[in-house]
Structure 1
Amino acid sequence: MLSPVIVRPVASYEDAAALDAAVEAVFAALPAEKQPTPASRVLLKPNLLARHAPDKAVTTHPALLRAVVAALRRRGVTDILLADSPGGLYTPARMRALYEGTGMTTLAKELGIALYDACKSVTVPAAPDGLVREFELIEPVAQRDYLIDLPKMKTHVMTGASLSVKNLFGCIPGLKKAEWHTRFPDKERFGEMLTDLCRTVQPALTILDGVVGMEGDGPSGGSPRPLGLVLGGADPFLVDLAACRIMGIEPERVPYLAAGIRRGLCPAEFPAQALDGDETLLRPAPFRLPASYGAGDTDFARHARGPVAWVLPRLERWAAPRPVVETVKCIGCGRCAEICPRHTIELNKTARIRPADCIRCFCCHEMCPVQAIQVKRLPLFRHL
């Protein structure tokens, strides 16, 4: 039996009643055995990609978290911890600055919940029958018994979409993320890894912030896109399929959903019978896609055979979008060099990327605080 996906309209973050009703509907749809109890030790895992104010649409909005905490409190839950780990150095000072900049510090004081900043990690075995044997995760993911995944509805320059499954990449501590990009530089295998991670972490519940999403060169360099929706359910893959339908993105072109489809973890498209809500809310409202989303982004050369197998990888690499530094914007902070998996970025007042060594993971684009790193592609492919 398919787990229901709740879709509810919420006009704005200021509409606290609508937010509370939407979040309560997601909790209420859970079967009794999956409901949090007063004894539950709950971990809230929002998308806190970088230190951006809530109105920039980069991070999960505090108003949604407020509604989630209210729903937990109605169920008698008192032990609530909020944690995330963005790219870059994972230190207590960095985390405190991140919480402050994204509005989480104010929220935590208001609601009396804890913010995790001890920055410890543990190694756990991965779910069986996957690509990965073990994961190093931030400590509370392994210690807590009820994880709520709270992603933001965004496009993504590498994976096409950044939704529920991708949000769990934040369970991997800081610079350890770069190691996974190095191990799996192509999108297909990176998607397999994210699928393994989701199966290992096993969120109890997912609530997706689609009140205001992000389109274009997400997850941090795009533009806010008001949608007025909250989606949720127990199955993060089904929630993401519903989101892709709204965003106008083919699930097969999102690497972790393609991996889920291949493994039989989810259908190839969102099943109508799983919807709990007005079907008009799933009407496509196509997002503006990243500049990288087109030629050279599908890893099709990996599957080529015969003589063409020699030509396609070279053609694909030549044509693929790449990150480019706009030196007039660059402030020389070094965040891009810090996060780069292959250490291909040099600093001399401003950043410089060595194209020959770049694996096009776009981590530098994600982490740049001033959006000085843009995604560029050959003019010919912009029009195809």
Structure 2
Amino acid sequence: MKRWLSKAETTLGNHSDRLNAINIFPVADGDTGTNLYLTVRAAAHALRETVPDTAAMPQITAELLSADPAVHVVGPPDPAHNDVGAVLSRAGQAAMEQARGNSGTLFAVFLCAAAEPLAGHARLSSPLLATALDRAQLRAWSALSEPVPGTMLSVMEAAARAAAAVDAEHGGDDSNHTLGLALDAAVEAALAAVVRTEDQLAALHTAHVVDAGGVGMLLILDCLRSAVLGEELQSELLDGLHGYDVQDPHIHADMPRDDGVEVMCTISLSPLDAAMLRQRLDEMGDSVIMSQVGGDADANGAYRWRVHVHVPAADAAVVLIRSLGEPDDLSVSELAVPRDPAADPRNPDGHAR
């Protein structure tokens, strides 16, 4: 899992410019690649700081212990380091807290949800992969107030269905061989779903491009396959995707400029206040995403929520959010201005650019 997210961080960094170039839905702000990269980077760094590289650690076997009584283990290993669900949950929480944009927030939701059925397991298997991908795509679809086919949601769903089909065909076999078949099928189905996005959304069809978030999700899934199977990334995977050739123009730059702003924050809310906030934000704007951060309530019965919305102006949304509690990491970003990750991420007023 650590290798997966590290590989995904590098891959999205390499592809962020092309992903930005074809990012025209839901708004042509040219930042999907940047947002996915920054969100995956947060997840990867969380594991880099907390999970040791167990593959490089010497293994002290029972035979060695019995042969040399002087050899001893200084302390018991942390079970969470060998718990796939716990590791991914840690990464998902970091991604959720630092998620950027629609695509980054949906990936963070995907990662947190995928971790749940993997809790307590020391290895991935085909049945677990199928369950995790299905939980993740369902949670991502439900996080959006108005989910739209032809986006990264469709790619998540296609991958989950393909993995489930392999698992069913092999009767729940948990061998590494069947896991490889499930990963192959998930990536193949994700690619087919990406190709379909062009005809699922009118804006993409008119511009003759595939969905940027969908391509990003495809790359992430191929990184998972590569990390688990110990194989190289499939370099030919993106060949022929409309708008994705290096020589293709930055299509978003020629699209009409989008008015309005993106507001994001993390805030503790009761279930009732969370439902009310989602309803009010739906009335104010669109692209509303609300997803729970972590599973436990605080002493007052409130849960942490990651909030995302596009609104014509920020003031009313910010006032509404602050009326319900004190938000963390509140950011207000112009939709019409692509963000430069190398630039100072804060404006003088404290809001993220």
TM range (shorter): under 0.3
Bigger share in strand: 1
Give me the TM-score of the superposition, normalised by structure 1. 0.23
| Largest Rg, 1 or 2 | 2
